[in-house]
């Protein structure tokens, strides 16, 4: 096991969100993903357009519940249901504690591949789908589209690969510089990269758009972009 920063250790090609990672996750991911908190705010603001009395929102891969908590705060006074789903028991436990003050928020442990969706008005996947194995990814996109009511939305935030080798080299260098500015040392950066081999499988911008279109989405736009991190809004 090697140190990847913020008291988290991981072995080569063995990154996991399990164990005690949940207790250190918020600090680690905020330092690791550009505009992470700003993206939370954007999702909460976009919820104004899709959540109304009687509406239902899913967050797929809700981790510690920071984002769904932010959406719940934004929508106080509305009769909306917010369902957070995560596969890791530790994440679910932390998220349930964070959202305990909101009776309309429910956090459950489930695998996205097996999740039975109710009809929904907003589905959020905030840096989640990149961890779903590629052979299952289209299946999840298809089920999200099928679950959404007409006019509902899928908010997809992902790390994205460059469209060719030159752009990918540029994005990798920029991201390495970003992590150094956040206080990670070289060993932590290398250890984290090695731990994510075969675990984090980002697609390009076009690859994500293709997944969305194959699922049935036609109205798609980028709502946030920083180098190799991008947020998409797709409306059914």
Residue-number span of the structural domain to which 138 is assigned: 2-163+194-235
Mean pLDDT of 58-75: 97
pLDDT at 9: 84
Higher model confidence: residue 70 or residue 13? 70
Burial of residue 91 (CB within 10 Å: 0-12, 13-18, 19+) is buried
The answer to whether residue 132 sits within a structural domain is: yes
Q: Report the number of distinct structural domains present in the chain.
A: 1
pLDDT at 23: 85
pLDDT at 18: 82
Instruction: Flag the least confident range among 5-14, 36-45, 148-157, 217-226.
Output: 5-14
Q: What does DSSP assign to residue 127?
A: S
pLDDT at 2: 85
The answer to whether residue 59 sits within a structural domain is: yes
Locate 201 and state its tokens.
Answer: 């499988």
Contact 50, 40 (CB under 8 A): no
The answer to whether residue 228 sits within a structural domain is: yes
Mean pLDDT of 83-96: 96
Contact 69, 99 (CB under 8 A): yes
pLDDT digits over 96-137, tens only? Answer: 999 999 999 999 999 999 999 999 999 999 999 999 999 999
6: pLDDT strictly greater than 80: no
The answer to whether residue 85 sits within a structural domain is: yes
Q: Please, where are the H alpha helices in 3-62?
A: 21-32, 36-46
Share of the chain above pLDDT 70, in %: 100
The answer to whether residue 123 sits within a structural domain is: yes
Q: What is the pTM of this model?
A: 0.95
Locate 92 and state its tokens.
Answer: 């679910």
The answer to whether residue 189 sits within a structural domain is: no
pLDDT digits over 48-60, tens only? Answer: 999 999 999 999 9
Mean pLDDT of 192-207: 94
pLDDT at 21: 79
The answer to whether residue 173 sits within a structural domain is: no
CATH of the domain at 26: 3.40.50.150
Q: pLDDT tier at 22 (50, 70, 90 boundaries)?
A: confident
224: pLDDT strictly greater than 90: yes
The answer to whether residue 168 sits within a structural domain is: no
């Amino acid at each position: 096991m090697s140190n990847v920063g913020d008291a988290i250790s991981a072995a080569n090609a063995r990154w996991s969100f399990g164990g005690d990672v949940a207790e250190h996750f918020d600090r680690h991911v905020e330092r690791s993903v550009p505009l992470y908190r700003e993206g939370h705010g954007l999702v909460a603001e976009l919820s104004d357009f899709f959540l109304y009395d009687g509406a239902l929102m899913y967050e797929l891969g809700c981790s510690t519940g920071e984002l769904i908590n932010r959406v719940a705060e934004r929508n106080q006074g509305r009769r909306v249901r917010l369902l957070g789903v995560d596969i890791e028991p530790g994440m679910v436990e932390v998220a349930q504690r964070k959202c305990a003050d909101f009776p309309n928020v429910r956090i459950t442990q489930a695998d996205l591949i097996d999740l039975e969706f109710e009809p929904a008005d907003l589905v959020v996947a905030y840096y989640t789908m990149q961890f779903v194995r590629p052979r299952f990814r289209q299946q999840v996109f298809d089920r999200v589209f099928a679950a959404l009511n007409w006019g509902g939305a899928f908010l997809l935030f992902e790390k994205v690969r460059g469209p060719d080798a030159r752009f990918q080299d540029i994005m990798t260098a920029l991201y390495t510089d970003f992590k150094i500015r956040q206080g990670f040392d070289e060993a932590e950066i290398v250890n984290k990269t090695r731990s994510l081999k075969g675990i984090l499988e980002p697609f390009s911008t076009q690859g994500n758009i293709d997944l969305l279109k194959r699922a049935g989405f036609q109205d798609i736009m980028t709502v946030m972009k920083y180098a190799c991190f991008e947020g998409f809004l797709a409306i059914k």
